[in-house]
Amino acid sequence: MTTDKVINVGILLYPSCTLMDFAGAFQVFAAPVNNFTPHLIAQSTEITTSEGMTVKADFLITDNDMPVLDMLFLPGGSSNGVVPKMFDSAFLAFINDNVATWKGSVCTGAFILAASGILRNCTATTYWSVIPELRLLAEKYGLDIPVGYPRYLIDKDAKVFTGGGISSSIDLALDIVLKFQGLQTAQKTQLFIQYQPHPPVHAGDPAHAPEHITKDLLEFEQKGNEAYALAVEKLLHM
């Protein structure tokens, strides 16, 4: 799969998507030491993320002068951003109709990909606290959702990739560079962004976090997770 050709990556944004979900991947793909070129795509010129930052899109989904995409990358977001896109026919049509060979998501973007049908018969993951909600779609969509909290998964047969939560977009994008353009280019990319993480704490998923911390965060995220559960229920009856 290693190639030296320019690889156009369309990063598909929407209101209340999560900043680091796409900014981390964008930073990796934009490194001048590899041949990836990221493009921000949306339904409107400006998008406000779940953190309140406004980002300008490079292209609208209706633009005819958009580069031919090799890859479509969908960030996750808060439930009030993700759930409407799960049922937005124009948004889902763009995902399905785009010629990009590879399509994928990070974090809760997996729910939009599932709604579009892209995740049918794939191995997939999502943000740790809503893995149970994604698993409810397993039978209908033929999803294989591994036990635990994978940092990311790349389904080579389906040409689909999915990432866990937020910061995993960096690891996912770096592995994509590795698989498409080889070890040296991936290493140069890693060194260019000086990505050598040594976090001062180690509670990045429930397998590593203290039980009471996981419990507290689940309670904090309860309302949003209930919104995903309702959206999944709606999908199951469509």
CA angle 74, 69, 101 (to 5 degrees): 80
* Per-residue CA distances from 111 to 78, 132, 194 (Å): 12, 12, 31
Backbone angles phi, psi at 205, to 5 degrees: -155, 170
The closest alpha carbon to 102, from 8, 2, 5, belongs to 8
Any idea which residues carry the catalytic annotation?
Answer: 107
* Per-residue CA distances from 152 to 49, 120, 122, 169 (Å): 22, 17, 13, 8
The pairing of beta strand 36-42 with beta strand 59-60:
parallel
- One-letter identity of residue 47: I
